[in-house]
Amino acid sequence: MGLMFVIAIGGALGSVLRYELSKIIQKKAGLDFPLGTFVVNLLACFLVGFFFSYLVEKINVSSSMRAFLITGFLGGFSTFSTFSYESYYLLVNGELLKFLLYILGSVGGGISMTFLGYNLGRVL
């Protein structure tokens, strides 16, 4: 089975789980706040940390399983987990300026690009 296929299957499963879990949490909470997405993003951050430390560094799973779980499943579940891990990596490696630029640029840039895309879509 090719690596791209393994990643695609993981991504599909992660996306479906994100949608369902987010919907369930949001419905149960009954709040006017995106709690479902918030919880999923935090869970994904926990899982990327766990998968890297336990499955990759401790028991050394295969590269296919790593691609399935981290790139595929968590990539589909929430790209926020990747952002979180990369930010953490910069911070623990003493790259404070890169860490700050990455966080501020990603969050500020992401919101700005959403604003621009939304407004472009409205005028077209």
HEC secondary structure over the chain: CCHHHHHHHHHHHHHHHHHHHHHHHHHHHCCCCCHHHHHHHHHHHHHHHHHHHHHHHHCCCCHHHHHHHHHHHHHHHCCHHHHHHHHHHHHHCCCHHHHHHHHHHHHHHHHHHHHHHHHHHHHC
**Residues placed in the known binding site:** 75, 78
**Residues placed in the known binding site for Na(+):** 75, 78
Rounded-to-integer distance, Cα 103 and Cα 57, Å:
26
